[in-house]
């Protein structure tokens, strides 16, 4: 029992210490992490009963509740339907599924549903080393769990993007059921429009994985995949979309082909891959949806501006920032080749010691197996932007990073300055401080 008690106390202490460390003392630059507003956090706390409840069953073609197999659902059904309608409104589409517990789950449901409907087990994707997510790859979910045959699209390392002409030939030769675009290292919009017409030739569905860029899409700062021809958009709700951890899928139900596909995806969501829905996320997802509807344009614009400012500044100060001839990035991310300074592993570790948290990353020209010490780091600006960083703050942050990366100062020495700097950003912008504040703000729109 003593061991048991000790483990629990260690866990509580680590949980408390974590909140202090990462929320208050670190500058968070991991591109896949989100930044929730106080109102989103409050909504999560308000939903503690919901967090214990079950809701399982089918949805209809509007993404609403169709059948549920438990009693006690009268408010739960309203919550599920409102959450779906808010998301559809934000992304200007007529179908969604908000029941996914993560972006990987959204990919699972979409890849499985579509490969079943098309009776075609081939999927073409960007290569993993060029930014695709492991769930797209033959070594991950798509290959090892779903048994799909994965064929890589061609990638142009100079352009940092998918090579349209060579990829079109690959799609025509492979005749896949799915063409999946979107990525984890995602600097520039993918050629959705260009590859859509090729996918149509072979009757393939186009899936766009917006896990990273969903919030930027909402803010109109990145390509709008549904308007460019994607049939399905899968995403996380906790990266640039500033909600609780979860996933969603979007689509436009416009014809019988899409109806068949949506039914296939819905069937994979329930009953194939969920029982309960983890309901307590949904009101908090809805708060984040409203925040993006109201402030998403400004938030997305500043996020991209901050990323571009950092790209220019790091480049001017001697770092090999990718995409120089294209303005470094059109998203919230930067990729930097740090081989000259010991590689991604050393740089990420030393920055961690200075309380600047980011991740090492394979770059498109790296050997895919070199994950231990890849050439690059990936830097994401969505968290600092939401905390209020503007261009001058970004440049100061870059100076701190440069001093560590270039071995000019010891990480421990820089850490004190990072903590002091972080203290100046103790608010969350482009969002609400409380649920009450959100309601008051929205009341003016009620007739
Ligand atoms: C492109 C892409 N898709 C899917 C995922 C998986 O999302 P989640 O972590 O929500 O499962 C990620 C994660 O970072 C990603 O980068």
What class has domain 53-279? alpha beta
pLDDT in tens, 90-103: 999 999 999 999 99
The reply to whether ligand 1 has any atom less than 6 angstroms from the CB of 135 is: yes
What class has domain 296-447? alpha beta
305: confidence class by pLDDT, cuts 50, 70, 90: very high
Mutate to test the pocket of ligand 1, among 33, 102, 103 (most ligand atoms within 8 A of CB): 103
Distance between CA atoms of 127 and 170, rounded to whole angstroms? 13
Ligand 1 centre and the CA of 18: distance in Å? Answer: 23
- Residue pair 280/81 in contact by the 8 Å Cβ criterion: no
Q: Which two tokens stand for residue 147?
A: 């048994």
Give me the residues paired with residue 150 across strands.
123
Percent of the chain with pLDDT over 70: 100
Kindly report the length of the chain: 447
pLDDT at res. 373: 85
pLDDT in tens, 216-249: 999 999 999 999 999 999 999 999 999 999 999 9
- Which ligand 1 atom sits nearest the alpha carbon of residue 105? 11
Average pLDDT over residues 381-391: 98
368: confidence class by pLDDT, cuts 50, 70, 90: confident
pLDDT at res. 369: 79
Ligand 1 centre and the CA of 86: distance in Å? Answer: 22
pTM of structure: 0.97
Distance between CA atoms of 248 and 278, rounded to whole angstroms? 13
Average pLDDT over residues 11-22: 98
pLDDT in tens, 17-61: 999 999 999 999 999 999 999 999 999 999 999 999 999 999 999
pLDDT in tens, 140-153: 999 999 999 999 99
The reply to whether ligand 1 has any atom less than 6 angstroms from the CB of 212 is: yes
Ligand 1 centre and the CA of 234: distance in Å? Answer: 9
Distance between CA atoms of 160 and 155, rounded to whole angstroms? 7
**How crowded is residue 174: how many other Cβ atoms within 10 Å of its Cβ?**
18
447: confidence class by pLDDT, cuts 50, 70, 90: confident
Residue nearest to atom 15 of ligand 1 (CA): 184
* Helix residue ranges per DSSP H, 278-337: 281-316
261: confidence class by pLDDT, cuts 50, 70, 90: very high
Closest alpha carbon to 116 in 274, 230, 269: 269
DSSP, collapsed to helix, strand or coil, labels residue 161 as: strand
The reply to whether ligand 1 has any atom less than 6 angstroms from the CB of 244 is: no
Ligand 1 centre and the CA of 70: distance in Å? Answer: 31
Residue nearest to atom 9 of ligand 1 (CA): 103
Q: Where are the domains of the chain?
A: 53-279, 296-447
If you count DSSP H runs as helices and E runs as strands, how many of each does the chain have, helices first? 15, 15
115 pLDDT higher than 80: yes
The reply to whether ligand 1 has any atom less than 6 angstroms from the CB of 246 is: no
Ligand 1 centre and the CA of 2: distance in Å? Answer: 39
The reply to whether ligand 1 has any atom less than 6 angstroms from the CB of 237 is: no
pLDDT at res. 21: 97
- Residue pair 240/213 in contact by the 8 Å Cβ criterion: yes
Greater model confidence, 277 or 316: 316
């Amino acid at each position: 029992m003593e061991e048991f008690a000790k483990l629990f106390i260690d866990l509580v202490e680590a949980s408390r210490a974590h909140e202090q460390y990462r929320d208050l003392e670190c500058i968070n630059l991991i591109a896949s992490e989100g930044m929730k507003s106080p109102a989103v956090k409050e909504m999560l706390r308000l939903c503690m009963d919901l967090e214990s409840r079950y809701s399982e069953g089918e949805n209809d073609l509007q993404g609403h509740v169709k059948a549920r197999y438990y009693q006690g659902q009268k408010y739960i059904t309203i919550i599920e339907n409102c959450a779906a309608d808010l998301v559809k409104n934000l992304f200007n589409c007529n179908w969604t599924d908000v029941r996914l517990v993560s972006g990987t789950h959204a990919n699972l449901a979409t890849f499985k549903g579509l490969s079943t409907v098309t009776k075609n087990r081939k999927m073409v994707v960007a290569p993993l080393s060029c930014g695709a997510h492991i769930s797209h790859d033959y070594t991950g979910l798509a290959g090892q769990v779903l048994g799909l045959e994965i064929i890589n699209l061609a990638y142009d390392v100079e352009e940092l993007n998918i090579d349209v002409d060579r990829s079109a030939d690959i799609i025509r030769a492979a005749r896949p059921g799915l063409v999946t675009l979107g990525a984890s290292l995602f600097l520039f919009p993918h050629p959705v429009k260009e590859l859509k017409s090729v996918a149509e030739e072979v009757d393939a569905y186009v899936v766009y994985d917006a896990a990273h860029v969903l919030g930027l899409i909402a803010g109109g700062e990145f390509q709008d995949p549904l308007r460019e021809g994607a049939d399905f958009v899968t995403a996380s709700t906790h990266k640039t979309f500033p909600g609780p951890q979860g996933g969603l899928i979007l689509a436009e139900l416009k014809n019988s082909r899409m109806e068949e596909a949506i039914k296939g995806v819905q069937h994979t969501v329930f009953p194939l891959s969920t029982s309960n829905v983890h309901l307590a996320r949904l009101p908090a997802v809805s708060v984040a949806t409203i925040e993006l509807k109201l402030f998403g344009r400004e938030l997305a614009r500043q996020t991209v501006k901050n990323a571009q400012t950092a790209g220019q500044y790091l480049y001017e100060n001697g770092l090999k920032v990718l995409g120089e001839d294209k303005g470094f990035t059109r998203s919230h991310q930067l990729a930097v080749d740090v081989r000259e300074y010991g590689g991604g592993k050393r740089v990420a570790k030393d920055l961690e010691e200075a309380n600047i948290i980011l991740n090492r990353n394979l770059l498109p020209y790296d050997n895919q197996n070199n994950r231990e010490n890849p050439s690059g780091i990936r830097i994401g600006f969505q968290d600092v932007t939401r905390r209020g960083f503007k261009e001058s703050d970004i440049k100061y942050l870059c100076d701190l990073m440069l001093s560590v990366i270039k071995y000019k100062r010891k990480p421990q020495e820089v850490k004190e300055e990072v903590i002091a700097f972080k203290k100046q950003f103790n608010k969350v912008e482009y969002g609400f401080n409380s649920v009450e504040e959100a309601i008051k703000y929205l009341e003016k729109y009620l007739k």
